[in-house]
């Protein structure tokens, strides 16, 4: 992996991780168009490890929110539990799904169709504050997040739609999704590191530099993406993201049906 490739993938990660458009689908396109070897163990580690930079962007942007009450952490913990349970129970099945670009394309299309109508379905939502999110609601949002274990679904989209289904305003649903990303993505990064070293791989000095660059770029880009997303969401809703997902899904399907070799990182 070159520095250029690391920066491109980090930009993709920073933009797509918190937007409801599927980082997995975009990583497929990005790595394939760059001609990268998607079977490479370090590349697989890199695409997960740079999520740490994206996590830091949430901590910086919403720093004050993390000191409001201990109750906030309990809600995040409860929302995170379903991902731990289903991740452990179905890890092998999830790995199999990750081998199917066709499945990613279909998930992008279906999720896009849902986003075309989600504003209309939940336009009367009234919950505007974290304090008004119950433990039961947090748990249900966590269950929705588990849908993102199907590659192409988008962790952000699943948890945001989950929040809106529980009467959260679209802005609060998006912000809670950002907060929930912290334990979820941090856990995924630790697991990927554990699997990497358990398989006997090591990281050299050049790869450490690539990880540092990737995380720094993902951090900056994710901050900009979050600011844009919240501002856009408040004025326009999800419809444009729905159309965008449909276009990307069709693009991936077209490439696959044309015989183009797309692989999931």
For the segment 50-95, what is each residue's pLDDT rounded down to a tens digit?
Answer: 989 999 999 999 988 888 788 999 999 999 999 988 877 776 666 6
Residue 263 has pLDDT above 90, yes or no: no
Decide: residue 45, CB within 10 A, 0-12 exposed, 13-18 middle, 19+ buried.
buried
d(CA 145, CA 157): 8
Question: What average pLDDT does the segment 142-169 reach?
Answer: 91
Ramachandran sector of residue 240 (left: φ over 0; alpha: ψ -120 to 50; beta: rest): alpha
* Mean pLDDT over the full length of the chain: 88
d(CA 61, CA 235): 20
Tokens of 92: 């092998």
pLDDT tens, position by position, 10-49: 999 999 999 999 888 788 788 878 888 777 888 888 988 8
Phi (first) and psi of residue 127, to 5 degrees: -75, 120
Per-residue pLDDT, 124: 76
* Res. 102 pLDDT band, cuts 50 70 90: confident
Q: Domain residue spans in the chain?
A: 3-257
Per-residue pLDDT, 116: 95
How many H helices and E strands in the chain? 12, 0
**pTM score of the predicted model:** 0.88
Largest interatomic CA distance in the chain: 54
Measured at the CA of 90, the angle between CA 88 and CA 96, to 5 degrees, comes to 130
Question: What average pLDDT does the segment 137-157 reach?
Answer: 91
Return the top range by mean pLDDT from 62-71, 146-155, 184-193, 219-228.
219-228
Return the top range by mean pLDDT from 39-53, 176-190, 213-227.
213-227
Per-residue pLDDT, 95: 60
* Res. 159 pLDDT band, cuts 50 70 90: very high
Residue whose token pair is 């910086």 = 60
The helix (H) or strand (E) run that includes residue 230 is: helix 205-236
Per-residue pLDDT, 196: 85
Per-residue pLDDT, 265: 60
Tokens of 207: 């790869």
């Amino acid at each position: 992996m070159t520095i250029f490739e690391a920066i491109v993938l980090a930009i993709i990660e920073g933009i797509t991780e918190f937007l409801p458009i599927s980082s997995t689908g975009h990583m497929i396109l990005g790595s394939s168009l760059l001609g990268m070897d998607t079977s490479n163990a370090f590349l697989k580690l890199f695409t997960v490890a740079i999520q740490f930079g994206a996590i830091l962007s949430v901590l910086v942007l919403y720093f004050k929110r993390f000191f409001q009450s201990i109750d906030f952490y309990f809600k995040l913990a409860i929302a995170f539990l379903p991902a731990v349970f289903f991740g452990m129970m179905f890890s092998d099945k999830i790995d199999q799904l990750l081998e199917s670009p066709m499945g990613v394309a279909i998930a992008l299309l279906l999720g896009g169709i849902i986003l075309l109508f989600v504003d209309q379905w939940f336009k009367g939502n009234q919950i505007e504050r974290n304090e008004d999110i119950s433990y039961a609601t947090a748990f249900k949002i966590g269950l929705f997040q588990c849908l993102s274990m199907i590659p192409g679904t988008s962790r952000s989209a699943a948890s945001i739609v989950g929040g809106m289904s529980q009467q959260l305003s679209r802005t609060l649903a998006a912000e809670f999704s950002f907060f929930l990303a912290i334990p979820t993505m941090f856990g995924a990064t630790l697991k990927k590191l554990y699997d990497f070293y358990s398989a006997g791989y090591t990281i050299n000095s050049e790869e450490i530099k690539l990880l540092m660059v990737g995380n720094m770029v993902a951090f900056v880009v994710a901050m900009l993406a979050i600011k844009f997303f919240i501002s856009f969401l408040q004025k326009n809703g999800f419809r444009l993201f729905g159309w965008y997902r449909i276009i990307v899904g069709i693009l991936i399907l077209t490439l696959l049906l044309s015989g183009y070799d797309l692989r999931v990182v």
